[in-house]
Amino acid sequence: MNKNEINLMNRNSITAVTKRNDTLLMSLESEPKDYRLLVQDKLYLYVQKTGKKYWQIRYKKADGKWSWYGLGVFPTINMKQAIQLANEFTRQCEEGNFSFGKNTQSNKYKLRTLMDSWLNVSKGKWGKKYNKSVVNAVKKHVYPVFGERDFRSITSQEWSTFFLGLIENHLMSVREKLYGYVNSAYRWATIQYNLQANPLPAINEFLPKYKRREHEHIDISELDQFLKDIRAYPVQDVSIGLELVLLLFPRHGEMRQAKWEQFNLEKKYWIKPKEIMKNGKVHKVYLSHQAVTLLKRLKAIQEPSIYLFPKRGNVNDHMSEGRFTTALEKMGYKDRMTVHGVRYLASTTLNNAFSGKWQVIEATLSHKKGGVKGVYDKADHFDESAEMMQWWADYINNPNIKRKSKTKIRKAYGIYKTPRVYKKPSLSI
Protein backbone atom coordinates (compact mmCIF):
# COMPACT_ATOMS: atom_id res chain seq x y z
CA MET A 1 0.00 0.00 0.00
CA ASN A 2 1.22 3.47 -0.82
CA LYS A 3 2.14 5.57 2.20
CA ASN A 4 0.20 8.46 0.78
CA GLU A 5 -2.99 6.41 1.20
CA ILE A 6 -2.40 5.80 4.91
CA ASN A 7 -2.99 8.11 7.84
CA LEU A 8 0.32 7.64 9.63
CA MET A 9 0.17 7.21 13.39
CA ASN A 10 2.81 7.95 16.02
CA ARG A 11 3.31 5.10 18.50
CA ASN A 12 3.06 7.54 21.43
CA SER A 13 -0.63 7.97 20.61
CA ILE A 14 -1.21 4.22 21.11
CA THR A 15 -2.12 3.20 24.66
CA ALA A 16 -2.41 -0.20 26.33
CA VAL A 17 -6.15 -0.26 25.63
CA THR A 18 -5.87 0.74 21.96
CA LYS A 19 -7.16 -2.11 19.83
CA ARG A 20 -4.44 -3.60 17.65
CA ASN A 21 -5.27 -4.60 14.10
CA ASP A 22 -3.55 -4.74 10.71
CA THR A 23 -4.75 -1.26 9.73
CA LEU A 24 -3.29 0.32 12.86
CA LEU A 25 -0.01 -1.57 12.53
CA MET A 26 0.26 -0.60 8.87
CA SER A 27 -0.09 3.07 9.82
CA LEU A 28 2.72 3.09 12.39
CA GLU A 29 5.36 5.71 11.64
CA SER A 30 9.03 4.87 11.60
CA GLU A 31 11.30 6.79 13.99
CA PRO A 32 15.00 7.78 13.99
CA LYS A 33 15.69 4.57 15.96
CA ASP A 34 14.21 1.08 15.66
CA TYR A 35 11.49 0.25 18.20
CA ARG A 36 9.06 -2.49 19.23
CA LEU A 37 5.32 -2.20 19.83
CA LEU A 38 3.63 -4.77 22.07
CA VAL A 39 0.74 -6.45 20.24
CA GLN A 40 -0.16 -9.11 22.76
CA ASP A 41 1.60 -11.07 25.51
CA LYS A 42 5.27 -11.29 24.42
CA LEU A 43 4.39 -10.70 20.74
CA TYR A 44 5.82 -7.49 19.30
CA LEU A 45 5.92 -5.65 16.00
CA TYR A 46 9.52 -4.59 15.37
CA VAL A 47 9.59 -1.33 13.38
CA GLN A 48 12.91 -0.40 11.80
CA LYS A 49 13.92 3.20 11.14
CA THR A 50 13.73 2.33 7.43
CA GLY A 51 9.99 1.69 7.83
CA LYS A 52 10.27 -2.10 7.48
CA LYS A 53 8.22 -4.12 10.01
CA TYR A 54 8.74 -7.62 11.41
CA TRP A 55 7.09 -9.91 13.93
CA GLN A 56 9.13 -10.90 17.00
CA ILE A 57 8.32 -12.82 20.15
CA ARG A 58 10.16 -12.56 23.44
CA TYR A 59 10.82 -15.89 25.10
CA LYS A 60 12.97 -17.51 27.75
CA LYS A 61 15.55 -19.96 26.45
CA ALA A 62 16.45 -23.31 28.00
CA ASP A 63 19.22 -21.66 30.00
CA GLY A 64 16.75 -19.19 31.50
CA LYS A 65 17.93 -16.18 29.50
CA TRP A 66 15.50 -13.97 27.60
CA SER A 67 15.83 -13.71 23.83
CA TRP A 68 13.95 -12.69 20.67
CA TYR A 69 12.62 -14.91 17.91
CA GLY A 70 11.59 -13.64 14.47
CA LEU A 71 8.23 -14.80 13.12
CA GLY A 72 8.33 -13.11 9.73
CA VAL A 73 7.63 -9.94 7.78
CA PHE A 74 4.58 -7.74 8.27
CA PRO A 75 2.23 -7.46 6.38
CA THR A 76 3.17 -10.67 4.50
CA ILE A 77 2.30 -12.34 7.79
CA ASN A 78 -0.73 -10.50 9.14
CA MET A 79 -1.62 -10.05 12.78
CA LYS A 80 -3.88 -13.12 12.98
CA GLN A 81 -1.21 -15.35 11.45
CA ALA A 82 1.47 -13.89 13.72
CA ILE A 83 -0.63 -14.66 16.80
CA GLN A 84 -1.08 -18.25 15.61
CA LEU A 85 2.69 -18.60 15.07
CA ALA A 86 3.37 -17.04 18.48
CA ASN A 87 0.97 -19.42 20.22
CA GLU A 88 2.54 -22.42 18.52
CA PHE A 89 6.01 -21.18 19.42
CA THR A 90 4.98 -20.65 23.06
CA ARG A 91 3.43 -24.13 23.24
CA GLN A 92 6.61 -25.77 21.98
CA CYS A 93 8.76 -23.79 24.40
CA GLU A 94 6.54 -24.84 27.32
CA GLU A 95 7.04 -28.45 26.24
CA GLY A 96 10.78 -27.92 26.36
CA ASN A 97 11.15 -27.97 22.58
CA PHE A 98 13.34 -25.00 21.61
CA SER A 99 13.90 -26.09 18.01
CA PHE A 100 10.93 -24.15 16.65
CA GLY A 101 10.47 -24.67 12.92
CA LYS A 102 10.30 -27.76 10.76
CA ASN A 103 12.81 -30.29 12.09
CA THR A 104 15.39 -27.68 12.98
CA GLN A 105 17.45 -30.26 14.87
CA SER A 106 18.86 -27.83 17.45
CA ASN A 107 19.55 -24.88 15.12
CA LYS A 108 20.94 -26.96 12.25
CA TYR A 109 18.38 -25.64 9.76
CA LYS A 110 18.13 -22.07 10.97
CA LEU A 111 18.94 -19.55 8.27
CA ARG A 112 21.49 -17.98 10.62
CA THR A 113 23.32 -21.30 10.81
CA LEU A 114 23.30 -21.66 7.04
CA MET A 115 24.54 -18.11 6.46
CA ASP A 116 27.28 -18.48 9.07
CA SER A 117 28.42 -21.70 7.41
CA TRP A 118 28.40 -20.07 3.98
CA LEU A 119 30.29 -17.02 5.26
CA ASN A 120 32.93 -19.25 6.81
CA VAL A 121 33.43 -21.14 3.52
CA SER A 122 33.42 -17.97 1.40
CA LYS A 123 35.69 -15.69 3.43
CA GLY A 124 38.85 -17.35 2.15
CA LYS A 125 38.27 -15.94 -1.34
CA TRP A 126 37.44 -12.42 -0.09
CA GLY A 127 39.57 -9.62 1.26
CA LYS A 128 39.17 -8.67 4.92
CA LYS A 129 37.36 -5.44 4.09
CA TYR A 130 34.87 -7.08 1.72
CA ASN A 131 34.22 -9.92 4.14
CA LYS A 132 33.38 -7.43 6.89
CA SER A 133 30.95 -5.57 4.62
CA VAL A 134 29.15 -8.83 3.71
CA VAL A 135 28.85 -9.92 7.35
CA ASN A 136 27.54 -6.50 8.41
CA ALA A 137 24.92 -6.43 5.62
CA VAL A 138 23.66 -9.91 6.44
CA LYS A 139 23.48 -9.22 10.18
CA LYS A 140 21.77 -5.86 9.70
CA HIS A 141 19.13 -6.83 7.14
CA VAL A 142 18.68 -10.62 6.95
CA TYR A 143 19.09 -11.94 10.49
CA PRO A 144 16.43 -9.70 12.13
CA VAL A 145 13.84 -11.05 9.68
CA PHE A 146 14.79 -14.65 8.90
CA GLY A 147 17.71 -15.48 11.17
CA GLU A 148 15.78 -17.83 13.45
CA ARG A 149 13.63 -19.35 10.72
CA ASP A 150 14.07 -22.79 9.17
CA PHE A 151 15.56 -21.81 5.83
CA ARG A 152 13.80 -24.73 4.11
CA SER A 153 10.38 -23.30 4.99
CA ILE A 154 10.95 -19.68 3.90
CA THR A 155 8.90 -19.23 0.75
CA SER A 156 9.70 -17.40 -2.47
CA GLN A 157 6.87 -15.00 -1.64
CA GLU A 158 8.47 -14.09 1.71
CA TRP A 159 11.84 -13.47 0.08
CA SER A 160 10.16 -11.40 -2.63
CA THR A 161 8.41 -9.25 -0.02
CA PHE A 162 11.68 -8.83 1.85
CA PHE A 163 13.63 -7.66 -1.22
CA LEU A 164 10.83 -5.41 -2.46
CA GLY A 165 10.79 -3.80 0.98
CA LEU A 166 14.47 -2.91 0.59
CA ILE A 167 13.71 -1.36 -2.79
CA GLU A 168 10.83 0.68 -1.35
CA ASN A 169 13.28 2.06 1.20
CA HIS A 170 15.66 3.12 -1.59
CA LEU A 171 18.18 0.36 -0.85
CA MET A 172 18.49 -0.89 -4.42
CA SER A 173 22.21 -1.68 -4.27
CA VAL A 174 21.77 -3.40 -0.89
CA ARG A 175 18.93 -5.48 -2.36
CA GLU A 176 21.12 -6.60 -5.25
CA LYS A 177 24.01 -7.57 -2.99
CA LEU A 178 21.85 -9.40 -0.44
CA TYR A 179 20.11 -11.36 -3.18
CA GLY A 180 23.51 -12.55 -4.37
CA TYR A 181 24.63 -13.49 -0.86
CA VAL A 182 21.45 -15.38 0.07
CA ASN A 183 21.22 -17.12 -3.31
CA SER A 184 24.81 -18.28 -2.96
CA ALA A 185 24.08 -19.53 0.57
CA TYR A 186 21.12 -21.56 -0.72
CA ARG A 187 23.34 -23.07 -3.42
CA TRP A 188 25.76 -24.02 -0.66
CA ALA A 189 22.81 -25.63 1.16
CA THR A 190 22.27 -28.00 -1.79
CA ILE A 191 25.73 -29.38 -1.00
CA GLN A 192 25.88 -29.10 2.77
CA TYR A 193 22.25 -29.85 3.64
CA ASN A 194 21.06 -31.72 0.53
CA LEU A 195 18.51 -28.96 -0.10
CA GLN A 196 16.23 -29.85 -3.01
CA ALA A 197 14.73 -26.44 -3.87
CA ASN A 198 16.16 -22.91 -3.85
CA PRO A 199 13.39 -20.28 -3.42
CA LEU A 200 15.47 -17.41 -4.83
CA PRO A 201 15.80 -17.93 -8.64
CA ALA A 202 12.02 -17.90 -9.13
CA ILE A 203 11.75 -14.29 -7.95
CA ASN A 204 14.82 -12.76 -9.57
CA GLU A 205 13.23 -11.83 -12.89
CA PHE A 206 10.43 -9.99 -11.07
CA LEU A 207 12.72 -7.79 -8.96
CA PRO A 208 13.69 -4.37 -10.40
CA LYS A 209 17.35 -4.32 -11.41
CA TYR A 210 19.75 -1.88 -9.86
CA LYS A 211 21.22 0.64 -12.27
CA ARG A 212 24.68 1.52 -11.06
CA ARG A 213 25.44 5.23 -11.02
CA GLU A 214 29.09 5.21 -10.11
CA HIS A 215 30.01 5.90 -13.78
CA GLU A 216 28.15 9.21 -13.86
CA HIS A 217 30.49 12.11 -14.33
CA ILE A 218 30.41 15.59 -15.78
CA ASP A 219 31.86 16.52 -19.14
CA ILE A 220 35.43 17.79 -19.13
CA SER A 221 34.13 21.18 -20.30
CA GLU A 222 32.41 21.59 -16.89
CA LEU A 223 35.57 21.04 -14.89
CA ASP A 224 36.30 24.71 -14.13
CA GLN A 225 32.79 25.31 -12.78
CA PHE A 226 32.94 22.07 -10.81
CA LEU A 227 36.13 23.21 -9.06
CA LYS A 228 34.57 26.61 -8.30
CA ASP A 229 31.53 24.91 -6.79
CA ILE A 230 33.71 22.68 -4.62
CA ARG A 231 35.67 25.65 -3.29
CA ALA A 232 32.48 27.58 -2.60
CA TYR A 233 30.93 24.77 -0.55
CA PRO A 234 30.42 26.15 2.99
CA VAL A 235 31.54 23.08 4.98
CA GLN A 236 35.29 23.54 4.96
CA ASP A 237 36.52 19.99 5.59
CA VAL A 238 34.13 18.55 2.98
CA SER A 239 35.17 21.23 0.49
CA ILE A 240 38.84 20.38 0.99
CA GLY A 241 38.04 16.67 0.84
CA LEU A 242 36.27 16.95 -2.49
CA GLU A 243 39.11 18.97 -3.95
CA LEU A 244 41.54 16.30 -2.75
CA VAL A 245 39.33 13.69 -4.44
CA LEU A 246 39.57 15.71 -7.65
CA LEU A 247 43.36 15.99 -7.36
CA LEU A 248 44.12 12.41 -6.27
CA PHE A 249 41.05 10.53 -7.68
CA PRO A 250 41.03 7.77 -5.04
CA ARG A 251 38.09 5.48 -4.49
CA HIS A 252 35.48 6.84 -2.11
CA GLY A 253 36.37 4.55 0.80
CA GLU A 254 40.10 5.17 0.42
CA MET A 255 39.62 8.89 0.99
CA ARG A 256 37.18 8.52 3.87
CA GLN A 257 39.40 6.00 5.68
CA ALA A 258 42.67 7.82 5.05
CA LYS A 259 44.88 8.32 8.12
CA TRP A 260 47.50 10.99 8.70
CA GLU A 261 50.17 8.35 9.35
CA GLN A 262 49.87 7.29 5.69
CA PHE A 263 51.02 10.71 4.42
CA ASN A 264 54.50 12.17 4.06
CA LEU A 265 54.00 15.82 3.15
CA GLU A 266 57.71 16.55 3.00
CA LYS A 267 58.48 13.76 0.53
CA LYS A 268 55.07 14.22 -1.09
CA TYR A 269 53.47 10.79 -1.12
CA TRP A 270 50.48 8.91 0.30
CA ILE A 271 50.82 5.19 0.94
CA LYS A 272 47.40 3.54 0.93
CA PRO A 273 47.51 0.26 2.90
CA LYS A 274 46.23 -2.94 1.31
CA GLU A 275 43.41 -3.18 3.88
CA ILE A 276 41.52 -0.30 2.26
CA MET A 277 42.40 -1.16 -1.35
CA LYS A 278 39.99 -2.89 -3.72
CA ASN A 279 42.76 -5.06 -5.17
CA GLY A 280 44.28 -5.76 -1.74
CA LYS A 281 47.65 -4.24 -2.65
CA VAL A 282 49.56 -1.29 -1.19
CA HIS A 283 49.37 1.77 -3.43
CA LYS A 284 51.81 4.69 -3.35
CA VAL A 285 50.39 7.98 -4.64
CA TYR A 286 52.37 11.11 -5.48
CA LEU A 287 51.11 14.31 -3.84
CA SER A 288 51.17 17.35 -6.10
CA HIS A 289 52.09 20.64 -4.47
CA GLN A 290 48.41 21.61 -4.67
CA ALA A 291 47.47 18.47 -2.70
CA VAL A 292 50.13 19.16 -0.06
CA THR A 293 48.78 22.70 0.41
CA LEU A 294 45.25 21.38 0.90
CA LEU A 295 46.39 18.73 3.36
CA LYS A 296 48.15 21.35 5.47
CA ARG A 297 44.98 23.46 5.47
CA LEU A 298 42.92 20.44 6.48
CA LYS A 299 45.30 19.59 9.32
CA ALA A 300 44.99 23.13 10.66
CA ILE A 301 41.18 23.12 10.87
CA GLN A 302 40.49 19.53 11.97
CA GLU A 303 40.11 18.28 15.52
CA PRO A 304 42.95 15.96 16.59
CA SER A 305 42.26 12.55 15.07
CA ILE A 306 44.10 9.72 13.34
CA TYR A 307 41.76 10.24 10.38
CA LEU A 308 41.86 13.03 7.81
CA PHE A 309 38.08 13.07 7.92
CA PRO A 310 36.81 11.98 11.34
CA LYS A 311 33.18 11.19 11.94
CA ARG A 312 31.11 14.02 13.35
CA GLY A 313 30.82 13.48 17.08
CA ASN A 314 33.42 10.69 17.14
CA VAL A 315 37.00 11.53 16.18
CA ASN A 316 37.98 7.89 16.68
CA ASP A 317 36.03 6.82 13.61
CA HIS A 318 36.15 7.93 9.98
CA MET A 319 33.60 9.96 8.04
CA SER A 320 30.39 8.30 6.91
CA GLU A 321 29.79 7.48 3.25
CA GLY A 322 27.10 10.08 2.75
CA ARG A 323 28.87 13.38 3.43
CA PHE A 324 30.70 13.76 0.12
CA THR A 325 27.70 12.43 -1.82
CA THR A 326 25.31 14.79 -0.04
CA ALA A 327 27.61 17.73 -0.75
CA LEU A 328 27.65 16.95 -4.48
CA GLU A 329 23.85 16.78 -4.48
CA LYS A 330 23.56 20.11 -2.68
CA MET A 331 25.89 21.66 -5.24
CA GLY A 332 23.50 20.59 -7.98
CA TYR A 333 25.31 17.49 -9.26
CA LYS A 334 22.76 14.84 -8.29
CA ASP A 335 22.59 12.17 -11.02
CA ARG A 336 25.36 14.03 -12.87
CA MET A 337 28.51 13.51 -10.83
CA THR A 338 29.61 11.02 -8.20
CA VAL A 339 32.76 10.70 -6.11
CA HIS A 340 33.75 7.67 -8.16
CA GLY A 341 32.97 9.65 -11.31
CA VAL A 342 36.13 11.69 -10.70
CA ARG A 343 38.15 8.56 -11.50
CA TYR A 344 36.43 8.26 -14.88
CA LEU A 345 36.99 11.94 -15.58
CA ALA A 346 40.68 11.70 -14.67
CA SER A 347 41.19 8.41 -16.52
CA THR A 348 39.61 9.73 -19.72
CA THR A 349 41.62 12.95 -19.66
CA LEU A 350 44.91 11.21 -18.88
CA ASN A 351 44.38 8.63 -21.61
CA ASN A 352 43.68 11.43 -24.06
CA ALA A 353 46.82 13.29 -23.06
CA PHE A 354 49.16 10.32 -22.49
CA SER A 355 47.95 7.70 -24.97
CA GLY A 356 51.32 5.96 -25.03
CA LYS A 357 51.46 5.68 -21.24
CA TRP A 358 48.46 3.48 -20.50
CA GLN A 359 50.45 1.26 -18.14
CA VAL A 360 51.36 4.27 -16.02
CA ILE A 361 47.75 5.45 -16.01
CA GLU A 362 46.52 2.04 -14.90
CA ALA A 363 49.12 1.99 -12.11
CA THR A 364 48.14 5.52 -11.08
CA LEU A 365 44.50 4.41 -10.82
CA SER A 366 45.55 1.28 -8.89
CA HIS A 367 43.94 -1.01 -11.43
CA LYS A 368 44.87 -4.65 -11.28
CA LYS A 369 47.04 -5.83 -14.17
CA GLY A 370 45.43 -8.72 -15.98
CA GLY A 371 46.69 -11.73 -17.89
CA VAL A 372 50.30 -12.84 -18.17
CA LYS A 373 51.50 -9.26 -17.71
CA GLY A 374 49.84 -9.15 -14.31
CA VAL A 375 51.83 -12.22 -13.26
CA TYR A 376 55.26 -10.97 -14.31
CA ASP A 377 55.07 -7.16 -14.31
CA LYS A 378 55.34 -5.86 -10.73
CA ALA A 379 56.48 -2.32 -11.61
CA ASP A 380 54.64 0.46 -9.76
CA HIS A 381 55.69 3.20 -12.25
CA PHE A 382 55.79 5.68 -9.35
CA ASP A 383 58.24 8.18 -10.89
CA GLU A 384 56.28 8.42 -14.14
CA SER A 385 53.04 8.50 -12.18
CA ALA A 386 54.39 11.42 -10.12
CA GLU A 387 54.90 13.45 -13.28
CA MET A 388 51.38 12.56 -14.41
CA MET A 389 49.79 13.51 -11.08
CA GLN A 390 51.45 16.91 -11.09
CA TRP A 391 50.37 17.40 -14.71
CA TRP A 392 46.76 16.60 -13.76
CA ALA A 393 46.86 18.99 -10.78
CA ASP A 394 48.19 21.79 -12.98
CA TYR A 395 45.67 20.94 -15.68
CA ILE A 396 42.59 21.22 -13.48
CA ASN A 397 43.91 24.42 -11.91
CA ASN A 398 44.52 26.14 -15.25
CA PRO A 399 41.35 28.11 -16.16
CA ASN A 400 42.83 29.22 -19.50
CA ILE A 401 42.47 25.80 -21.10
CA LYS A 402 39.49 25.32 -23.40
CA ARG A 403 38.24 21.87 -22.46
CA LYS A 404 35.94 21.02 -25.36
CA SER A 405 37.12 17.85 -27.07
CA LYS A 406 39.72 15.11 -27.06
CA THR A 407 41.43 16.65 -30.07
CA LYS A 408 41.73 20.08 -28.51
CA ILE A 409 43.05 18.63 -25.24
CA ARG A 410 45.74 16.82 -27.15
CA LYS A 411 46.62 19.75 -29.40
CA ALA A 412 46.75 22.12 -26.44
CA TYR A 413 49.49 20.02 -24.91
CA GLY A 414 51.29 19.07 -28.09
CA ILE A 415 50.45 15.36 -27.66
CA TYR A 416 49.53 13.17 -30.61
CA LYS A 417 48.71 9.52 -31.03
CA THR A 418 52.18 7.99 -31.11
CA PRO A 419 52.07 4.50 -29.58
CA ARG A 420 55.84 4.13 -29.25
CA VAL A 421 57.16 7.67 -28.90
CA TYR A 422 56.31 9.73 -25.83
CA LYS A 423 56.42 13.50 -26.03
CA LYS A 424 56.39 15.24 -22.65
CA PRO A 425 53.46 17.67 -22.41
CA SER A 426 54.03 21.38 -22.07
CA LEU A 427 51.69 23.40 -19.89
CA SER A 428 51.90 26.43 -22.15
CA ILE A 429 49.03 26.87 -24.59
The predicted pLDDT at position 415 comes to 38
- Statement: the pTM of the whole predicted model exceeds 0.75: no
Q: What is the DSSP letter of 414?
A: T
CA-closest candidate to residue 341, choices 252, 239, 243, 236: 252
Hey, what domains does the chain have and what are their CATH numbers?
3-94 (3.30.160.390), 111-204 (1.10.150.130), 220-412 (1.10.443.10)
**25 in Cβ contact with 77 (< 8 Å):** no
The predicted pLDDT at position 370 comes to 57
- Return phi, psi of residue 44, to 5°: -125, 155
204 CB-side CA count, 13 A: 12
The predicted pLDDT at position 144 comes to 84
CA-closest candidate to residue 270, choices 247, 288, 287, 293: 287
In terms of Cβ atoms closer than 10 Å to its own Cβ (0-12, 13-18, 19+), residue 343 is: buried
316 CB-side CA count, 13 A: 0
The predicted pLDDT at position 90 comes to 86
pLDDT (tens, 9 = 90+) of the chain, 429 residues, equals 444 445 788 888 888 889 999 889 999 999 999 999 999 989 999 999 888 899 999 998 878 889 888 888 888 778 988 888 888 788 878 877 655 544 444 578 889 999 999 999 998 888 777 888 899 999 989 988 888 888 988 889 889 988 988 888 778 888 999 999 999 999 999 998 889 889 999 898 888 876 665 568 899 899 999 999 999 999 999 999 999 999 999 988 899 999 999 999 999 999 999 888 877 788 899 999 999 999 999 999 998 999 999 988 888 999 887 899 899 999 999 889 999 999 999 999 999 888 888 888 888 888 766 554 554 455 578 888 999 999 999 999 998 887 764 434 444 444 333 333 334 444 433
The predicted pLDDT at position 102 comes to 45
The predicted pLDDT at position 100 comes to 55
The predicted pLDDT at position 145 comes to 84
Query: 369: Cβ–Cβ under 8 A, 6 or more apart, which residues?
Result: 362, 377
> Pairing relation of β-strands 310-311 and 314-318?
antiparallel
